[in-house]
Structure formats: C-alpha cells, structure tokens
Amino acid sequence: MALGLIFFRKADSPEGVQTTTSESGAPVPPSSAGAAVAGVSSPPIGPSVTPPAPGSATFSNGMWLVGEEIAPGIWRALRSRNCAWKRLSSIEGSSDTVAAAGTFLTVEIPARDAAFWSEGCGWWTQVLSPPSSSPDGPFGPGTWLVNEEVAPGLWRNSDSSEGCSWSRLSNLRDGDAAVADSGIGYSMITVEIGATDRAFDSKGCGTWTRVGG
C-alpha cells in the first residue's frame, strides 16, 4: 500500500518553513529550492577588491596573505628611496607578529609567513632583472644579489654628493637585522663586497665600478 505524506509544523522550525515526514516518522529532506529562512539574509556586497592571483608576478603596496594572495620567494620592488616593508608571522595585530622589517628593495618572503606589508615601494615583482649584462659590470642604486648579479670584490662609486648609503647583507629575509656592514659618506667610497654576502644595497651613490678582485 502506498504511503501518504503528512505535513505539519514543528514548534522549533523557523516560521514559514515546513517540515515533511512520512507516516513512519522519518523526516523527508526539504527541497534545496525552498523558501529562504526568515531573519537570515545574504551578507552585504561591499566594494570589489581584486587581489593578485596566487603566484602572480606582481603586487603593490598594502598587506597581502602569503600563499593565498602572493607567492613566497624572492621579490624586488621598483626603485624607491622611501620603501618600507614588514614580514608578518601572524595577522593578529600585535607588534610581536612582525618577523622582520626593512627598507631594502629585494626581499625573500618565506612560505611560513602569514602576510607581507609594504608602503612606498611601488610594484613588487619576481622577475629579477640584473643591473648589468655581467656581474662584473657597473651597477646603480638598488638591492642586488651577490655572485648572481654583482661580483664580489672591490667596488668604487661615482657620486656621493647626495650622501652615498650602502649595506652588505647576509640574507634577504631579516631586513635591517641582516646588515653585515654599512656606511654613508659624501666623498668617493670604495667597498669590498664579500663572496659570502647575499646582497649589496646602495642609494645616492651614483654608479659602482669594479676596481679589484
């Protein structure tokens, strides 16, 4: 004998929603196309913000989630004298979440970081263009990889009239804490870049020319 369906309203059912059971008492799932539950609405639609796609080759200033909005790895900013950045181990808002901070234009963002924040840096890219056709060739301001983009040895600058500032870096992750040696001057400067240095940063120094091994 065919079983009929009995419709009744349960006391704890939201107003306007019917619960369906068979004569055996087993509930019959409601249709997915049923009426909306009273008092429940969709979240408001805010301004459209388009973050960079995971693995995107560029991103700009602001805070971005590592692994979701930007890929980990080595990133380089467009040349800027006012770039500042922070690597964040979490995004809870405490100052303890800052894993490292710096002003250098090339940075390594580890996969373990939660987010990366920057301002005044323009666009960041993972396309690392060397400053010269050869590591022995002259180079200008920026943060350049030693051995890959800039050869170790003695280098002399061409212009210190605006105040030549330079730093030898032991790594690209720790920002200001990675400075192995640094200096600033208003006369011609000769710096020895070590083979174990990870990068060399300078600004206001004109062009560097290799003068010795």
Would you state the pLDDT for residue 57? 77
Listed in sequence order, the residues at least 6 apart from 72 whose beta carbon sits closer than 8 Å to its beta carbon are: 66, 109, 110, 111, 113
**DSSP E strand boundaries for the chain:** 5-8, 19-22, 27-28, 58-59, 62-65, 73-77, 84-88, 98-102, 106-109, 115-119, 124-125, 142-145, 153-156, 164-169, 179-185, 190-193, 199-203, 209-212
In one-letter notation, the amino acid at residue 138 is P
Listed in sequence order, the residues at least 6 apart from 109 whose beta carbon sits closer than 8 Å to its beta carbon are: 66, 70, 72, 73, 74, 75, 87, 116
Would you state the pLDDT for residue 92? 80
Listed in sequence order, the residues at least 6 apart from 77 whose beta carbon sits closer than 8 Å to its beta carbon are: 83, 85, 105, 106, 118, 121, 122, 123, 124
Would you state the pLDDT for residue 7? 37
Would you state the pLDDT for residue 213? 84
- Strands of 62-65's sheet in order across: 62-65, 115-119, 84-88, 98-102
In one-letter notation, the amino acid at residue 16 is G
Would you state the pLDDT for residue 81? 73
pTM above 0.95? Answer: no
Q: Is 105 within 8 Å of 80 (Cβ atoms)?
A: yes
The span from the CA of 137 to the CA of 209, in Å, is: 7
pLDDT, mean of each 10-residue run, the chain (213 residues): 41 41 46 37 38 66 96 90 93 80 97 96 94 97 98 98 98 97 97 98 98 92
Alpha helices in 114-153 (DSSP H): none
Would you state the pLDDT for residue 96? 66
